[in-house]
Structures are given as C-alpha cells and as structure tokens.
Amino acid sequence: MIRQRHILLLSSLCSLCLCGESFAKITYDDNVLPLLKEKCVGCHNQDKKRGGVVLNNFTKVMEGGSSGVIIKPGDPDNSPLFQSMAHKREPFMPPSSPVLPDATVATVRQWIADGALENSGSKAIAAGPKVNVGLPGVVRGKPAGAPPMPAKALSLEPIARTARADAVTALACSPWAPLAAVGGQKEVLLYNTDTLELIGVLPFPEGEARVLKFSRNGGLLLAGGGHSGKSGKVVLWSVTTGERIIEVGDENDSVLAADVSPDQTQVALGGPSKVVRVYGTKDGKLIYEIRKHTEWITALEYSPDGVLLTSGDRVGGLFVWEAFTGREYFSLRGHTAAITEVSWRSDGNVCASASEDGSVHLWEMENGNSIKSWAAHGGGAESVRYARDGRIVTAGRDRLVKLWDGAGNAQRSFEARPDVALCAAFTHDDARVIAGDWTGQIPVWTAADGKAVGQLTPNPPTLAERLDGAQKELAAKQAVRDQAAAVAAASVAASQKAAMDLAAAQKVAADAAANVKATADAAANAKAASDKATAAATTGQADVRAKTVLGQALAEASAKVKDASDKAKGDAALTIAANRVRELSAQMNAEQAQAQKTATDLTVVAQNATTALTQAQQTAANAVAAAAAAPKQVEALTVVAKAAAAKAAADQATTATAGLAFTQAAAIVEKWKTALAGKAPAQASK
C-alpha cells in the first residue's frame, strides 16, 4: 500500500512537472520508450514477440498482444501494461525480477493517464467509457426502485464564481427525482427541486455547458458544450456517484445539441459543424454521421422508445431519422427560422418543436404532418418541453414562460422575466416549472397556480462566501436568541408574580368567606351579652328604686316613732320600737346604697356590651363587604395571571425556536468550516 501511494505521488509530480504548458509532455518517444528499452524490449520486439506484445513501436504498443489491448488511454489502473509493470497482476514484468523502480512505474502510469501521447506533437487519445451503461432494452415509465439521486455528498465549491450571473442557456430536470441541472462556465450545478438547495458541482473543464439532458431513467446526466470556435465534447455522469463515466466527441467548435438514447447505447451530438454525429456508449466510437443539415445543429432528441432521432438547425431545417441507421424518416417543413428546441411527448407519437419564428409545431409520427401550430412567443420561441402528463411549457424572447395544454391552448403565463426567457422545464412530478433567462435568473413556480416558490442561481457562492454568510447569520440568530431569552425571562418573572398575587387574593377570598360566619357568630354572641347586661342593669335600677322608696318610708316611720317616743318618755316599748325602726331604716339605707352601686356597675357593663355589640356588628358588616369584594379581585387577577402565563409560554416557545435556529446556524458554520478547511464535500442543509 505504501509503495502504491509512492507511485501515485510520483505520478502526480510527473504530471505537475511535465504536463504543464511550460514543460514537456510525457510521451512515448521521449520518456517511455527509453525505459522500455532498458527493461522490456529485449523480450518484446519485432523479432521476439512474447505474448504477441511489441513494445519498441508505438503503433504495436497500441495494438496490444495476443490477449488484447495493453493500453487504455486515460485509464492506467485498467491498463494491463501498467498493471504488470506495477506487479498488480500477472504476468509480472520483468518476469522473475523485482518490480521496476517507482519512478519508472510512475512515468508509465502518468503517460497512460495523460492519453498515451506518441510524441510532443501528438494529441491525447480520448479515454474510453469507464463502464458500459447500455441497457438491454427501453423501459417506458418509471423505473423500479428509488429514483436516482446523488448517493454521496458532492463538492459544493463552484468552479467559476463571477461578479454577476451569466445567461442560463442549459437547464434540465430529472424525469423521476427532485433534481435539476444548470449549465455554467466549466461546471454543471445540481439542485434539489424540492428544497431548491445546491447539492453538487460537477466540473466541466471542456468549457461552457450548452446543453443538458437526463437519461430517460434518470440515472445519467449528459452535458454538451465546449469553447466556441475551438473545441466541443459531450460528457455523461452517473447521477448517483457524480462520477464522469463517458466522454464522446472531438468537435472543433462547441456542442450545441446532444442527447443520450433511451437504451443508453448511443449519444448524438451536433453544433456548428452542421453534422449530427452518433457515438456508441460502449466504446465511445463514432457509429455514423448525418450530413443533411445546411446550418448549425441547434436541437437533438431521441424518441421515448429510442427508434427515432429528431434534429433541428439554425435555418429551420427539421428532420426525423432512424436512430440505429441514420436514415431519413421525415423532413418536417413548417418553420421559417432557427429551430431552438425539440421535445417528444411521452407516448412517442408526437414531437414538439420551437423556433425563432415564434411558433411551436406539434408533429405526428404516422405521416410526419403538423397537427397543430400556434404563435407562442412574439420575437421567437426559445424553448419547448413536454410534461409527462402531456402539458407543454415554452419560453421566448417576449420575456415570458407559458404553460399550454396538450392541444396548444394557453393555460397561463408566468411572471415576466427581466429579459429574454431562454429555457424552461417541468420538475419530476410536473408540479413545478423552472426557467432560465438572459439575466441569469432561475425562477421556480408552481405549475398549478403560477405562484413563485423561490430561485436557483447559476452563480453560487464559494465555500468561503458561504462560511462568511453563515457566520453573519449565526451572529444574527444569536442576537435574536439572546433577545428572546431576555424577553422570556421577564415574562416568566411577571407570570410568577401574577400567580403569587392571584394565590394571595384567593387566600384573602377564602379567609373573607370564613370570616363572615365568624364575625356573624361574634355579633350574635355580643348581642346576647348586651341584651343580658341591659336586662341586668334594668333589674338593678328597679332594685335601687324599690330600696329607695322603702328607705324613705322607713326614715319617715323612724322619725314618727322617735317623735312619739320623745313625747312619751319612759315608754320603754316605744323606745325599743323607735330604736328598731331606726335600725331598719339604717339597714335599708345601706342596702339602697349597695343596690345603687350594683346598678351603676351593671349599667357600665351594659354600656360596654352595647359598644362591643356595635363593634361586632360593624366587623361582621365589614367581613360581608370584604367577602363580596374578594371574588372580583380574584377574577381580575385570574385574567392577569392567565395572560401573563400565556405570554410567558409564547415567549419561551419563541426562545426555543430561536435557540433551535441558532443551533442549526452553528452547525452550518461548522460544516462550512470543515468543508473549507479540507475542500471536502458538504451536503447542503434545509
């Protein structure tokens, strides 16, 4: 394993040192042949062809030996020559000898990886397809299993970041998955059409991607393009892995139109060369050419069953070909200006075409006649796409994207674009329409009502910009969270105080209700005591009056008896009577004095009882009033407490939401930090 890493490192150094524009290329003549002569040519030359392999002649090397080819340009790890030299497969080279030096093996590896150049003037041989993507047949309808989506995190670092977005000329949606592809400079962007988030960036170093197509089963993504006036190529990626698996074409100008056949055995391409070229996906070799067109090829698409291929050009030429032979099937005449796009209905019976003459034509495939045509866009129709349910979406120079039923009747126009609407497509479920315009905007609408749901961008931010934006968003989320927490804390404190006030009021109400009976009982007892004291005082006063009258009578009687005794001196009996009467009068006076004192005391007690009764009655009245007022206070404080509790709960929920948003923002910041630190793939978040 260490040696393999060493070889890979040396191979990378060879690439850096020898393959740049200012350095010599690694070639067979200059770099590889000298190494082969030293160790291998002795057994592999025109005279001694061990295994049928000749290594001292470039042509013979590329032909291979009795077991087949030994060089697969662009793919050293699957090239038998390199495998044998690296002792990764038998027979080992040289036989019965130690493995060749790492530098030698690395040079051969890099030579093959760079396209197996013969000499400094040679052009790299295109690598053949890495896998055979051809299907045993065409499967109509949705394939079995989960719709193809990227199964691993792809890089989100854009290849090209510009000051402003370029015009969106290439747009495609997967037929079965929430996936859209947007073409750009040296890259193809992948978006999730449900979340509208970027989920991958596929490098397209060939130049600008001018056409994008998904295979009919959604498993492959095709991009065609290049550098105008210089070069053109078509590339196919695996949607699930993001791996580039096929490259075909070697145009001298950018590819403008391309498609992959439904059985994935063919790739058709065209452009300024005016020639339709059809390649096989199995070996990447040209199958046939169509030279009928007199102008640039601007539109290509296979029929859903893969039997036919439609092509259009810059002067309105529109043809249908037999896909497997290239023989002309129909010449469709009706447009008077450039064909901008063609699209087949899902049943394969009708093909739609859009043109710079502003019209859209529907062509039946029984006789090749136009069964419907209408003026779709003033100034020119730039795009036409069928939905799976037969509806049609178009885009045009009138800045509009329009939705039509299958018969060409207008259903709606979406919001006008700032400039020319260049392309439009339905998402996998036909529920949304995505469009691209000259200003670089990519709006997304719901097809049912035409409402805007968001935007995609052909010019996404770099990872550094994403990190900066995420950090600013995190700071904003933190401020919101902290403010929400402060508000919630105040609300909770206010709620707690309101609850305490309510509890106190409820206790007061309960105490007041209990106090009504207690004070009423006390008032009743006070009244009984007052009544008793008053009665006693009244009785005492009556006793005083009686004793007063009796005392007065005894005093008068004593005076009369004394007077009689004084007159009858010597009358002992009368004297005794006078003394007795005098004693009785004195006794009565004493009793009257005592009764007066008792009556006075009882009167004071009665007065005090009356005062106590008045106080008890007032206390009872106050208790009744308090008991009547307490429920109203409880009711008012209950409203306050409920409102305070509701506000506290709402503020706490707001705080929780703000806290979750902060946590998510923090996770995004960490994700972009990690991605930026190692340029590692990072999956976009919701």
Within this chain, do residues 88 and 58 fall inside the same structural domain, yes or no?
yes
DSSP secondary structure, 108-141, as one string: HHHHHHTT--SSTT--PPPPPPSS----SS---S
What pLDDT does residue 14 have? Answer: 47
CB 372 within 8 A of CB 364: no
Residue 136 domain-assigned (yes or no): no
Write out pLDDT tens, residues 268-307: 999 999 999 999 999 999 999 999 999 999 999 999 999 9
Of 591, 581, 592, whose CA–CA distance to 554 is shortest? Answer: 581
CB atoms within 10 A of CB 472: 12
Angle (CA) 233-301-434 rounded to 5° is: 90
Q: What is the pLDDT of residues 29-77, one digit of tens each?
A: 888 889 888 878 778 887 777 888 888 888 888 888 877 788 888 788 8
- Does 141 fall in a domain? no
Are residue 229 and residue 369 in the same domain, yes or no? yes
| Residue span of the structural domain in which 651 resides | 465-677
Whether residue 532 is found in the same domain as residue 494: yes
pLDDT (0 to 100) of residue 122: 75
The single residue listed with the structure tokens 């009996």 is 573
Instruction: Give the pLDDT confidence score for residue 562 in this predicted structure.
Output: 78
Is the same domain home to 659 and 612? yes
Please tell me the chain's helix, strand, coil percentages from 3-state DSSP, rounded to the nearest 5: 40, 25, 35
Q: What pLDDT, on a 0 to 100 scale, did the predictor assign at position 2?
A: 39
Q: From CA 554, how far away is CA 559, in angstroms rounded? A: 8
Residue 259, pLDDT > 80, answer yes
Which of 417, 438, 460 corresponds to the end of one domain?
A: 460
Q: Per-residue pLDDT tens for 537-560? A: 888 788 888 878 888 888 888 788
Q: What is the 3-state secondary structure (H, E, C) of 617-673?
A: HHHHHHHHHHHHHHHHHHHHHHHHHHHHHHHHHHHHHHHHHHHHHHHHHHHHHHHHH
* Residue that is last in its domain, among 403, 437, 460: 460
Map residue 526 onto helix, strand or coil: helix
User: Is residue 204 within 8 Å of 190, Cβ to Cβ?
Assistant: no
Asked whether residue 434 falls in the same domain as residue 514, the answer is: no
| Counted domains in the chain | 3
* 519 and 666 share one domain: yes
The DSSP annotation for 422-480 comes to: EEEEE-TTSSEEEEEETTS-EEEEETTT--EEEEE-SSPPPHHHHHHHHHHHHHHHHHH
Is residue 260 located within the same domain as residue 320? yes
Residue 18 in this model has a pLDDT that exceeds 80: no
Give yes or no: residues 560 and 666 share one domain.
Answer: yes
Query: Ranked by mean pLDDT, which of 66-80, 131-145, 275-289, 604-618 comes out on top?
Result: 275-289
Please tell me the predicted confidence (pLDDT) of residue 5: 39
Q: Which of 678, 679, 204, 664 is nearest to 462 (CA)?
A: 679
Residue 442 has pLDDT above 50, yes or no: yes
The answer as to whether 165 is a domain residue is: no
Task: Please give the residue that has the higher pLDDT: either 491 or 93.
Answer: 491
What's 400's domain CATH number? 2.130.10.10
